[in-house]
Amino acid sequence: MRHRKSGLKLNRTSSHRDAMLRNMTTSLFKYGRIKTTDVKAKELRRWADRMITLAKRGDLHARKQALMVIRETEVVHKLFEEAVKRFGAQAGGYVRLTKLGYRRGDSAPLSIVELTGEPEEGTAPKKKGLIKKRKEKPADQATP
């Protein structure tokens, strides 16, 4: 029985799962959005919401707890600086999941995980390589 056991196993050992989710959490706060599978995204949402809650608290103990998960000090510093400005009025729901479709190789369902709220000027995440738009043909080259 799985009573009172939260979190998904994701078919990994506990150390691998923790390391993977720590890396994904760090990347989410570093870049603002990441692309991953649906199941990993739902589990990542739990980790990210907890880190934002710690950042909104803002005391020294919360910063040390965040550093146990996010191993890059620059990312933790950035998170603690902008969390109150960006998420101060929200009581939850800091992360948005957007479903993309299926991965070509193994048909795994994919999602984009991104932070909600208004980003500060100059800290907007780059949209490099996540969603590719089709190039439209010019009107004179359109096929009849």
Q: What is the pLDDT of residues 3-52, one digit of tens each?
A: 988 888 999 999 999 999 999 999 999 999 999 999 999 999 999 999 99
d(CA 127, CA 74): 21
Residue 133's pLDDT band (boundaries 50, 70, 90)? low
CB atoms within 10 A of CB 129: 7
What pLDDT is stored for residue 88 in this prediction? 87
- Domains of the chain: residue spans and CATH: 14-117 (3.90.1030.10)
pLDDT at 117: 81
φ, ψ of residue 71 in degrees (nearest 5): -85, -5
109 sits in which H/E element:
strand 109-115
pLDDT at 2: 87
pLDDT of residue 54: 95
pLDDT at residue 125 in the model: 53
| 35 vs 132: CA distance, rounded Å | 13
Tens digits of residue pLDDT in 70-124: 989 999 999 999 999 999 888 889 999 999 999 999 999 999 999 998 776 655 5
Selection from 8, 88, 98, 102 nearest residue 46 by Cα:
8
